[in-house]
Structure 1
């Protein structure tokens, strides 16, 4: 049985593989600063995309998107602004995506990608 942390890491790994197959260029994984963390940062179609990945074993407590509540969105936005400022992407378009993964085993998982999931 996977720990919660291992499940999260596995979901992020599956998300990266999916994003690369969709033509995203991954520039950062698990970007940390004093304000918080963003799971994946990538470029696609002239957009800098900040991606939150939520991985669950089942739907007992709702979809993964429920966990990306208003507070979490604001936190991600703060970290994204920090990253944009630090990296000099001030003139770059950006958006926030959420990837939800329902994982049973390596041959049984579902991944859903919600582009432009929120704005702040």
Structure 2
């Protein structure tokens, strides 16, 4: 497994644990629809959040959250539409980004709620 892939998996695990500590139930991980993928899908009461997780080990190439492009946002919306239809979700939906900078074997987590609004 490559370093970047391993780091990404560590970041997703840290983001999942973070959301669970906030009282969210994780419904799905790495949900795919066509070429689109949502890293985490979580629920709390009548709120569904679709989460893009970006993890880096350094700021050398910018902050992790800066790597979420307009194209990635578009793909997240595509996957979300399919998921919402699949589960017949009739309540509030939010798109979040969780940015993780891995330092000294510990994640520094920045949770950006309603990232595309």
| TM-score, reference length from structure 2 | 0.93
Distance 1:112 1:20 in 2: 15
Q: Which residue of 2 aligns with 1:116?
A: 114
Q: Which residue of 1 aligns with 2:84?
A: 84
Can you list the C-alpha shifts for 1:57-94, whole angstroms capped at 9, x where unaligned? Answer: 111111111111111101100000010011111x2210
Distance 1:28 1:113 in 2: 18
1:1-120 aligned at under 5 Å gives the runs 3-89=3-89, 91-106=90-105, 108-119=106-117
Q: Is the 8 A contact 1:39 1:53 kept in 2?
A: yes
Q: Is the 8 A contact 1:35 1:78 kept in 2?
A: no
State the number of aligned residues: 116
Pairwise CA distance, 1:99: 0.3
**Runs of 4+ residues deviating >6 angstroms:** none
Distance 2:87 2:35 in 1: 16
Gaps of 5+ in 1: none
Can you list the C-alpha shifts for 1:27-77, whole angstroms capped at 9, x where unaligned? Answer: 001111214110000012421100000000111111111111111101100
Q: Is the 8 A contact 2:41 2:51 kept in 1?
A: yes
Gaps of 5+ in 2: none
| RMSD of Structure 2 on Structure 1 (CA) | 1.3
